A and B are shown apart, each in its own frame.
Chain A
Amino acid sequence: MPVAIRVIPCLDVNAGRVVKGTNFIDLRDAGDPVEIAKRYNTEGADELVFLDITASSDKREITLDVVKKTAEQVFIPLTVGGGIRTIDDIRKLLKAGADKISINTSAVENPQLISDGSKKFGSQCIVVAIDAKRNTAGSWTVYTHGGRTETKLDVIEWAKKCVELGAGEILLTSMDKDGTKDGYDLELTEHVTNAVNVPVIASGGAGKKEHFVDVCKKGASAVLAASLFHFKELSIHDLKSYMKENSIKVR
């Protein structure tokens, strides 16, 4: 039997607080990450992703402290991403209580970080996040720097390469779908899950319960959403009941 599909809320953390939206211009405070993490844990979240969007490096220490405090009170896996550039950054986060770290731009700029990280800490704790945007050739291109920089990399090829280098999971975000609430990019998810033999976390576009079921049927091992959960449009409990009714194995 396969493992249960994981339902993962994603929290954007800026200088120690959860903020709404990923837009740097209009950050609104959405609360204390530890309290929010505890709430999601109680509601049945299978894992949490913290995305550190703190721009200044001195304030990153605050994020380490948040990871520490969350890990002390929340006993489910915790993945932390954002601003990780070195093995030492990874080590610090794992020591603070993160179970996995997620790298995006730095993996593209320095693919050796994937191999060094997985050799040092095991592939299970190295997640590579890929921001994918559909191109005119009918495929998808990898973007970095929070979607601001186009690369020459093809998403499918890059996903394969990441796994070869030792990535234990792929966190796949569709930039086309992100924020639209009209469903995950099913075609993209299917292509990537067929190409790699590690779990793929589908992200970007979830708007209603049906979307989660649809993307699971395309091979996603986990489903991620942010605003849908933050704004209480959908509770994790209701979502899981619905998934179960639709023959998706959930915890």
Chain B
Amino acid sequence: MTAKIAIIDYGMGNLRSVSKAIELCKAYVDIISEPEQVKNYNAVVLPGVGSFAPAIKIIKDKGLDIAIKKHLEQKKMFLGICLGFQLLFSKSYEEGLYEGLDIIKGSVEKFIPKPDEKLIIPHIGWNTINISENIYAKQMYRGINNNEFVYFVHSFYCKPEDKKIIATETNYSVDFCSSIATENIWGCQFHPEKSSNIGIAILKNFVSKCEDLNACCN
């Protein structure tokens, strides 16, 4: 059964690139912006380019946070991309201290160069992912080799309290969590929609997991 996927438009993000990439994976995709629409879909994608504070404000003001949490309670699939991934966390230190959705316990922190280290920030460009032993990571990265390159653009990174949910780590001055995978929540700091064939393969795995869940629950 074709997966029905909603991309949440909260005024920040490269919606078109994300929707086109998911359409390529043979899913039905809508871009939605109202919380009451969320229930009509098997899966939600929260994209995002921009800064944390205005994004979380829009999401909470519109009540999208409640709709997302309800969606997750039903064990429906979720994918957060870049800022949309960071928003899942308890708090972010981007330009102050802001509370996030608190769906994943942990914080979002800035890259800090070590003494005498010339570290270019933002971390921008193609870097490799080291896939963990997490069983859900095996689903997320099915058919994908370890140490493949994906595309990053960010100055802040996520630090989950529960290390077991880490799906991949990437080294940039530090080994940071570049994606997470739980039973129904996937999140990645990189942009699968900009990561060429590897990114499309991850999105295909997401769509096929949505289809599987959809088939079993209907």
Contacts and interface: CB of A to CB of B under 8 A. Distances in A.
A73 B17 CA distance: 9
A121 B118 CA distance: 25
B101 interface: no
Contacts of A99: 14, 17, 153, 194
A3 B199 contact: no
Contact of A75 (B21, B120, B128): B21
Given A76-B194, A76-B196, A197-B118, A3 B126 contact: yes
Nearest to A1: B171
Interface string B132-174: 0000000000000000010111110000000000000001100
B14 A122 contact: no
Category for how many chain A residues contact B: 20 to 34
A242 B112 CA distance: 33
A185 interface: no
Interface string A29-51: 00000000000010000100000
Choose among B17, B50, B51 the residue with the greatest number of A CB atoms under 10 Å from its CB: B17
B200 interface: yes
A149 B145 CA distance: 50
B124 A251 contact: no
Interface in A159-194: 168-169
A73 B23 CA distance: 11
Interface in B198-218: 199-200
Nearest to B51: A122
Contact of B151 (A1, A73, A77, A221): A77
Interface residues of B, number: 34
B125 A72 contact: no
Given A41-B196, A75-B195, A4 B14 contact: no
Given A1-B172, A198-B120, A71 B125 contact: no
A124 interface: yes
A250 B118 CA distance: 20
A72 B17 CA distance: 7
B194 A1 contact: no
B14 A123 contact: no
B75 interface: no
A198 B122 CA distance: 8
A97 B125 contact: no
Nearest to A122: B50
B53 interface: no
B59 to A, nearest CB: 17
A168 B24 CA distance: 30
A4 B196 CA distance: 15
B62 interface: no
Given A76-B194, A97-B16, A1 B199 contact: no
A74 to B, nearest CB: 9
Contacts of A75: 17, 20-21, 24, 193-196, 199-200
Choose among B128, B153, B193, B195 the residue with the greatest number of A CB atoms under 10 Å from its CB: B153
B51 A4 contact: no
Given A4-B149, A75-B199, 18 more contacts: A1-B171, A3-B123, A3-B152, A73-B20, A75-B21, A75-B24, A75-B195, A77-B194, A97-B16, A97-B17, A122-B51, A124-B154, A124-B155, A125-B49, A199-B120, A199-B125, A221-B120, A251-B149
Interface of B: 14, 16-17, 20-21, 24, 49-51, 118-128, 149, 151-155, 171-172, 193-196, 199-200
5 contacts: A3-B172, A4-B125, A121-B49, A124-B153, A124-B155
Top 9 nearest A-B pairs (CB, nearest first) are: A3-B125, A251-B149, A4-B126, A124-B153, A251-B126, A1-B171, A3-B127, A72-B20, A124-B122
